[in-house]
Amino acid sequence: MKLFLDTANLAEIQEGAKMGILDGVTTNPTLLSREPGDPMENLKAICRTVEGPVSAEVIATDVEGMLKEAHQLSKLAENIVVKLPTTTEGLKACKQLTSEGIKVNMTLVFSPTQALLVAKAGATFVSPFVGRLDDVSSDGMNVVAQIIDIYNNYGFETEVLVASVRHPMHVVDAALMGADICTMPFKVFKQLIKHPLTDVGLEKFISDWKAAQQ
Protein backbone atom coordinates (compact mmCIF):
# COMPACT_ATOMS: atom_id res chain seq x y z
CA MET A 1 0.00 0.00 0.00
CA LYS A 2 1.31 3.43 -0.90
CA LEU A 3 1.54 6.02 1.88
CA PHE A 4 0.74 9.67 1.14
CA LEU A 5 0.92 12.70 3.41
CA ASP A 6 -2.28 14.74 3.63
CA THR A 7 -0.77 18.16 4.24
CA ALA A 8 0.43 21.31 2.50
CA ASN A 9 3.13 21.95 5.10
CA LEU A 10 6.50 21.79 3.34
CA ALA A 11 8.49 21.07 6.52
CA GLU A 12 6.31 18.02 7.24
CA ILE A 13 6.67 16.81 3.65
CA GLN A 14 10.45 17.28 3.75
CA GLU A 15 10.66 15.30 6.99
CA GLY A 16 8.36 12.58 5.62
CA ALA A 17 10.39 12.35 2.40
CA LYS A 18 13.59 11.87 4.42
CA MET A 19 12.07 8.73 5.97
CA GLY A 20 12.29 7.19 2.50
CA ILE A 21 8.79 5.68 2.46
CA LEU A 22 6.70 8.61 1.25
CA ASP A 23 4.86 7.87 -1.99
CA GLY A 24 2.92 11.08 -2.57
CA VAL A 25 1.01 14.06 -1.14
CA THR A 26 -2.60 15.17 -1.11
CA THR A 27 -3.60 18.77 -0.49
CA ASN A 28 -6.94 20.52 -0.41
CA PRO A 29 -7.99 24.19 -0.24
CA THR A 30 -8.27 24.05 3.56
CA LEU A 31 -4.77 22.64 3.98
CA LEU A 32 -3.25 25.10 1.47
CA SER A 33 -4.99 28.08 3.07
CA ARG A 34 -3.29 27.27 6.42
CA GLU A 35 0.19 27.84 4.97
CA PRO A 36 1.79 31.27 4.50
CA GLY A 37 2.85 32.40 1.02
CA ASP A 38 1.45 31.93 -2.45
CA PRO A 39 -0.45 28.60 -2.73
CA MET A 40 0.75 28.00 -6.32
CA GLU A 41 4.39 28.53 -5.32
CA ASN A 42 3.85 26.29 -2.28
CA LEU A 43 2.45 23.57 -4.56
CA LYS A 44 5.49 23.84 -6.84
CA ALA A 45 7.81 23.44 -3.83
CA ILE A 46 5.84 20.39 -2.67
CA CYS A 47 6.10 18.86 -6.16
CA ARG A 48 9.88 19.32 -6.11
CA THR A 49 10.13 17.67 -2.68
CA VAL A 50 8.12 14.51 -3.32
CA GLU A 51 8.73 12.07 -6.18
CA GLY A 52 5.16 10.75 -6.34
CA PRO A 53 1.83 12.35 -7.23
CA VAL A 54 0.73 15.61 -5.58
CA SER A 55 -3.01 16.30 -5.59
CA ALA A 56 -4.11 19.92 -6.02
CA GLU A 57 -7.80 20.78 -5.93
CA VAL A 58 -9.86 23.12 -8.09
CA ILE A 59 -12.15 25.73 -6.50
CA ALA A 60 -14.60 26.15 -9.40
CA THR A 61 -17.84 24.16 -9.29
CA ASP A 62 -18.81 24.40 -12.99
CA VAL A 63 -17.21 22.29 -15.73
CA GLU A 64 -15.68 25.20 -17.64
CA GLY A 65 -14.18 26.69 -14.49
CA MET A 66 -12.89 23.31 -13.33
CA LEU A 67 -11.24 22.63 -16.70
CA LYS A 68 -9.62 26.07 -16.74
CA GLU A 69 -8.18 25.63 -13.22
CA ALA A 70 -7.19 22.03 -13.95
CA HIS A 71 -5.14 23.09 -16.97
CA GLN A 72 -3.43 25.80 -14.90
CA LEU A 73 -2.69 23.37 -12.05
CA SER A 74 -1.39 20.64 -14.34
CA LYS A 75 1.19 23.09 -15.73
CA LEU A 76 2.73 23.64 -12.27
CA ALA A 77 4.67 20.36 -12.31
CA GLU A 78 4.71 16.95 -13.97
CA ASN A 79 3.57 15.16 -10.81
CA ILE A 80 0.46 17.27 -10.23
CA VAL A 81 -2.81 15.36 -10.03
CA VAL A 82 -5.94 17.46 -10.40
CA LYS A 83 -8.43 16.98 -7.58
CA LEU A 84 -12.09 17.45 -8.47
CA PRO A 85 -15.20 17.29 -6.30
CA THR A 86 -17.48 14.30 -6.90
CA THR A 87 -20.45 16.14 -8.37
CA THR A 88 -22.15 15.87 -11.75
CA GLU A 89 -20.00 18.73 -13.01
CA GLY A 90 -16.90 17.13 -11.50
CA LEU A 91 -17.69 13.87 -13.27
CA LYS A 92 -17.94 15.63 -16.64
CA ALA A 93 -14.65 17.44 -16.04
CA CYS A 94 -13.02 14.15 -14.96
CA LYS A 95 -14.01 12.44 -18.21
CA GLN A 96 -12.64 15.33 -20.26
CA LEU A 97 -9.36 15.67 -18.35
CA THR A 98 -8.58 11.94 -18.33
CA SER A 99 -9.19 11.82 -22.09
CA GLU A 100 -6.49 14.52 -22.34
CA GLY A 101 -4.11 12.37 -20.29
CA ILE A 102 -4.36 14.53 -17.14
CA LYS A 103 -4.46 12.51 -13.92
CA VAL A 104 -7.53 13.12 -11.76
CA ASN A 105 -8.26 12.44 -8.09
CA MET A 106 -12.00 12.50 -7.38
CA THR A 107 -12.50 13.78 -3.85
CA LEU A 108 -15.29 14.06 -1.29
CA VAL A 109 -16.48 10.52 -2.00
CA PHE A 110 -18.85 9.15 0.62
CA SER A 111 -20.68 6.27 -1.12
CA PRO A 112 -20.01 3.24 -3.33
CA THR A 113 -22.32 4.63 -6.02
CA GLN A 114 -20.19 7.78 -6.28
CA ALA A 115 -17.09 5.57 -6.52
CA LEU A 116 -18.65 3.48 -9.30
CA LEU A 117 -19.35 6.57 -11.41
CA VAL A 118 -15.90 7.98 -10.72
CA ALA A 119 -14.27 4.78 -12.02
CA LYS A 120 -16.48 4.81 -15.12
CA ALA A 121 -15.35 8.39 -15.78
CA GLY A 122 -11.75 7.14 -15.83
CA ALA A 123 -10.45 8.76 -12.64
CA THR A 124 -6.89 7.86 -11.65
CA PHE A 125 -7.76 7.98 -7.93
CA VAL A 126 -10.97 7.82 -5.88
CA SER A 127 -10.85 9.39 -2.41
CA PRO A 128 -13.39 8.06 0.10
CA PHE A 129 -13.37 10.20 3.28
CA VAL A 130 -13.44 7.66 6.09
CA GLY A 131 -13.05 9.99 9.10
CA ARG A 132 -15.88 12.28 8.05
CA LEU A 133 -18.17 9.25 7.59
CA ASP A 134 -17.23 8.00 11.07
CA ASP A 135 -18.01 11.52 12.36
CA VAL A 136 -21.65 11.13 11.30
CA SER A 137 -22.03 7.63 12.79
CA SER A 138 -21.40 5.81 9.49
CA ASP A 139 -18.71 3.20 8.94
CA GLY A 140 -16.13 4.85 6.71
CA MET A 141 -14.01 1.74 6.28
CA ASN A 142 -17.07 -0.29 5.26
CA VAL A 143 -17.57 2.10 2.35
CA VAL A 144 -13.92 1.50 1.37
CA ALA A 145 -14.50 -2.28 1.48
CA GLN A 146 -17.54 -1.92 -0.78
CA ILE A 147 -15.61 0.23 -3.25
CA ILE A 148 -12.74 -2.28 -3.40
CA ASP A 149 -15.21 -5.16 -4.02
CA ILE A 150 -16.96 -3.25 -6.80
CA TYR A 151 -13.68 -2.27 -8.46
CA ASN A 152 -12.41 -5.86 -8.26
CA ASN A 153 -15.68 -7.21 -9.73
CA TYR A 154 -15.19 -5.19 -12.90
CA GLY A 155 -11.43 -4.72 -13.06
CA PHE A 156 -11.58 -0.93 -12.76
CA GLU A 157 -8.08 0.55 -12.69
CA THR A 158 -8.96 3.59 -10.56
CA GLU A 159 -6.81 3.44 -7.42
CA VAL A 160 -8.57 3.55 -4.05
CA LEU A 161 -7.02 6.38 -2.01
CA VAL A 162 -8.30 6.25 1.56
CA ALA A 163 -8.59 9.84 2.83
CA SER A 164 -9.75 11.73 5.92
CA VAL A 165 -7.67 9.31 7.96
CA ARG A 166 -7.63 10.14 11.65
CA HIS A 167 -5.65 7.36 13.37
CA PRO A 168 -3.35 4.37 12.69
CA MET A 169 -6.22 1.84 12.79
CA HIS A 170 -7.66 3.46 9.66
CA VAL A 171 -4.28 2.67 8.04
CA VAL A 172 -4.29 -0.92 9.30
CA ASP A 173 -7.84 -1.51 8.08
CA ALA A 174 -7.05 0.05 4.69
CA ALA A 175 -4.02 -2.25 4.31
CA LEU A 176 -6.01 -5.34 5.35
CA MET A 177 -8.65 -4.50 2.75
CA GLY A 178 -6.02 -4.06 0.04
CA ALA A 179 -6.59 -0.34 -0.57
CA ASP A 180 -4.04 1.06 -3.02
CA ILE A 181 -3.15 4.19 -1.05
CA CYS A 182 -3.73 5.73 2.34
CA THR A 183 -3.22 9.48 2.82
CA MET A 184 -2.81 10.79 6.36
CA PRO A 185 -1.84 13.79 8.46
CA PHE A 186 1.84 13.90 9.49
CA LYS A 187 0.85 13.07 13.10
CA VAL A 188 -0.62 9.72 12.00
CA PHE A 189 2.32 9.07 9.64
CA LYS A 190 4.71 9.38 12.59
CA GLN A 191 2.49 7.23 14.83
CA LEU A 192 2.86 4.29 12.41
CA ILE A 193 6.46 3.60 13.51
CA LYS A 194 5.90 4.05 17.23
CA HIS A 195 5.49 1.20 19.72
CA PRO A 196 6.21 1.53 23.46
CA LEU A 197 7.69 -2.00 23.58
CA THR A 198 10.23 -0.99 20.91
CA ASP A 199 11.33 1.98 23.05
CA VAL A 200 11.49 -0.09 26.26
CA GLY A 201 13.26 -2.96 24.48
CA LEU A 202 15.84 -0.67 22.90
CA GLU A 203 16.54 1.04 26.21
CA LYS A 204 17.15 -2.37 27.83
CA PHE A 205 19.46 -3.60 25.03
CA ILE A 206 21.57 -0.44 25.39
CA SER A 207 21.69 -0.47 29.21
CA ASP A 208 22.54 -4.23 29.30
CA TRP A 209 25.33 -3.64 26.79
CA LYS A 210 26.74 -0.70 28.75
CA ALA A 211 26.59 -2.68 32.05
CA ALA A 212 28.56 -5.56 30.48
CA GLN A 213 31.31 -3.17 29.33
CA GLN A 214 31.94 -1.90 32.89
Per rule CB under 6 A, count of chain residues that contact ligand G3P: 9
Q: Is 6 in the site for ligand G3P (CB under 6 A)?
A: yes
163 part of the interface to ligand G3P, by CB under 6 A: yes
Q: For ligand G3P, give the closer residue by CB, 68 or 132.
A: 132
Q: Indicate the burial class of 39 (C-beta count within 10 angstroms; 0-12, 13-18, 19 or more).
A: middle
Of 125 and 151, CB closest to ligand G3P: 125
Distances (CA, A) of 111 to 114, 143, 154: 5, 6, 17
Out of 125, 129, 151, 156, name the contact with ligand G3P by CB under 6 A.
129
Query: How many other C-beta atoms are found inside a 10 Å radius of the C-beta of residue 75?
Result: 10
Which of these segments, 15-23, 40-48, 126-134, 189-197, binds ligand G3P (CB under 6 A)?
A: 126-134
Residue nearer to ligand G3P on the CB measure, 172 or 200: 172
Choice among 83, 95, 103, 187 that is catalytic? 83
Cβ closest to ligand G3P, residue 6 vs residue 69: 6
The Cα 105–Cα 94 span in angstroms is: 9
Asked if 35 interacts with ligand G3P (CB under 6 A), we say no
- Tell me the residue type at 159: E
Q: Examine residue 183 and tell whether it contacts ligand G3P (CB under 6 A).
A: yes
State the Cα–Cα distance between residues 95 and 38, nearest whole angstrom.
29
The CA distance from 20 to 9, in Å, is: 18
Active site residue 103: no
* Contact yes or no for 65/47 (Cβ under 8 A): no
Closest to ligand G3P by CB, 94 or 161 = 161
Amino acid at 112: P
With contact defined as beta carbons under 8 Å apart, do 76 and 56 qualify? yes
Q: How far is the CB of 198 from ligand G3P (least distance, A)?
A: 27
Verify binding: residue 164, ligand G3P, rule CB under 6 A.
yes
Could you tell me if 105 and 87 are in contact, meaning their C-beta atoms sit under 8 angstroms apart?
Answer: no
Please enumerate in sequence order all residues whose Cβ is within 8 A of that of 204, keeping only pairs 6 or more positions apart, or say none.
none
Choice from 68, 103, 120, 132 touching ligand G3P (CB under 6 A): 132
Q: Is 86 in the site for ligand G3P (CB under 6 A)?
A: no
Q: Which residues bind ligand G3P (CB under 6 A)?
A: 6, 26, 28, 129, 131-132, 163-164, 183
Q: Active-site positions?
A: 83
